[in-house]
Amino acid sequence: MQLNELTIKQARAKLDSGAISALELTEACLERIARADKDVHACLLVCADEARAAAQEADRRIQSGEKGSLLGIPYLCKDNIMVKGLATTAASRIIQDYVAPYDATVIKRLKRAGAVLLGKTNLDEFAHGVSTENSAYGPTRNPQNLSYVPGGSSGGSAAAVAAQMCLFAIGSDTGGSIRFPASFCGVCGLKPSYGRVSRFGLLSMTSSTDVIGPLTKTVEDGALVLEAIAGKDRHDATTAPEKTEDYALGIAELKNLNGLIIGWPKEYFIKELDSQVVARMKEAAERLRAAGAQLKEVSLPYTKYGVPVYYIITPSEISSNLARFDGIGWGLAKNEAGDLQEFYKSSRSAGFGPEAKRRIMLGTYALSAGYYDAYYKKAQAVRTLIIRDFAEAFKKVDLLLTPTAPHPAFKIGEHIDDPLTMYLEDIFMSGASLAGLPAISVPAGSVENKSGTPLPVGAQLIGPRLAEALVLKAAKVLE
């Protein structure tokens, strides 16, 4: 086994025993990136020199007897999160020359923990998409089969983990952007509860649902990363004051799931669902039952309104958040423009790609005079009903088991000109995002697509707010 193929837990044991160094581990990842990323295109930037220096520093800390679950562990980070001194592009032309002046809180915490940043990963521009095809720097390919998309928007992070370029990766999830690519690439992707992880230094997309979380090779690794990045941050007033938990210990000490009730929400098992996906979910349910959990059918009647609500609220918040990209102070500036209005328009039109423009337009429309009540306010009210659905369900069950995606990965280019089809991909993920709940996608085996190609699919577990520990424990059983 190559060093880059290790899980965090395996590497930890080898680093602590002195069998390997953080520098060797980092070199193995850098070599893997150099070899595989020509095809996969998961990385937008590789900072090899900085990574080597960080690995040597981690080796010094390990030699001095310091302990830490991520000390010397190499990782990649989605390029919509700021790392001081490195370009942060959000896969957009509008900030292609932007250099982050400070570290995001998650990066600061990972640096303190001694994790080694290898570089930045590709995404749909500003995280708008489900395929990573909306990147201004070209699509990422699915390492399981290069003709297919890796999912999105954290497609670079999911592909990098699946292709063994790093031990873990950081992504962001607004309506499924960690879970969806995790499902398509066959890795674990955890979306923490809204507010569990600081968003300070994350380029804002939908401020009311954006969350940062880990993509990992195992559930336990996800727990280790969450422990390092979770918690209150004075720079993000929406972070939860509740104490974080020892998420990995809960998994290590897990014996069974006796007494746990898992809900099977009938509205998630729609008739359009691939029958093989249903079969994989039934197998997942069986594993939970074998571990002692009880399964119970539940109803979340407002499920079908998740996507329409999401695609009003999200573009609305986007149109407001992306208003800051006006060519002044940073980013692309078309200085030859005559007056201020023309300057704004020419800078923004040259800088934003088609999907960003589409979402800005849609959001501006939904928030404009005469439509605000009909669209935005209506969506906010239905959002309340979706939240109540989950609250009612969690009176009867502890967790919910659903597919992450209705089918496996689709081909690159297959849906590129059909935004509505792309938006519908969020069908099983938008609910947990709108309600701010923790959710994980765990590999649930593979299914054959129409052309007989086997591709991975994920099972999703959704828990009550701040119940990450419980979600992770049950997810461990699904592995």
Residue number, 24 or 236, with CB nearest to another protein = 236
Q: What tokens were used for 273?
A: 């669902």
| By the rule CB under 8 A, 346 interacts with another protein | yes
Q: Does 326 bind another protein (CB under 8 A)?
A: yes
CA-nearest of 185, 164, 169, 183 to 6 is 164
| Contact positions with another protein (CB under 8 A) in 392-431 | 419-420, 423
Closest Cα to residue 43, out of 115, 150, 147, 130? Answer: 150
Among 436, 443, 456, 458, binds another protein (CB under 8 A): 436
One-letter amino acid of 367: L
**Separation CA 149–CA 184 (nearest Å):** 8
Q: In the stretch 237-276, what mask flags binding to another protein with x, by CB under 8 A? A: xx-xx-----------------------------------
Peptide bond into 204 cis (omega under 30): no
- Considering only residues 297 to 316 of the shown chain, the ones binding another protein according to CB under 8 A are 302, 304-305, 307-309, 311-312
Establish how many alpha carbons lie within 13 A of residue 374's alpha carbon, considering only the half-sphere containing its beta carbon: 6
Q: Which of residues 109-148 bind another protein (CB under 8 A)?
A: none
In angstroms, rounded to a whole number, what is the distance separating the alpha carbons of residues 287 and 365? 47
Q: Is 435 among the residues that bind another protein (CB under 8 A)?
A: yes
Q: Can you tell me the distance from the alpha carbon of 132 to that of 149, in angstroms, rounded to the nearest whole number?
A: 7
Q: Exactly one of 10, 50, 102, 411 binds another protein (CB under 8 A); which one?
A: 102
| 345 part of the interface to another protein, by CB under 8 A | yes
The amino acid that residue 187 corresponds to is: V
Cα–Cα nearest to 92, from 215, 178, 210, 203: 203
Applying CB under 8 A, does 352 fall inside the site for another protein?
yes
Residues forming the active site: 78, 153, 177
Q: Of 66, 69, 75, nearest to 25 (Cα)? A: 75
446 contributes a contact to another protein by CB under 8 A: no
Residues lying near another protein in the complex (CB under 8 A) are found at: 84, 98-99, 101-102, 194-195, 208-209, 234, 237-238, 240-241, 302, 304-305, 307-309, 311-312, 319, 323, 326, 328-331, 333, 335, 337, 339-341, 343-346, 348-349, 352, 354, 357-358, 360-362, 364-365, 368, 374-375, 377-385, 387, 419-420, 423, 434-436, 465
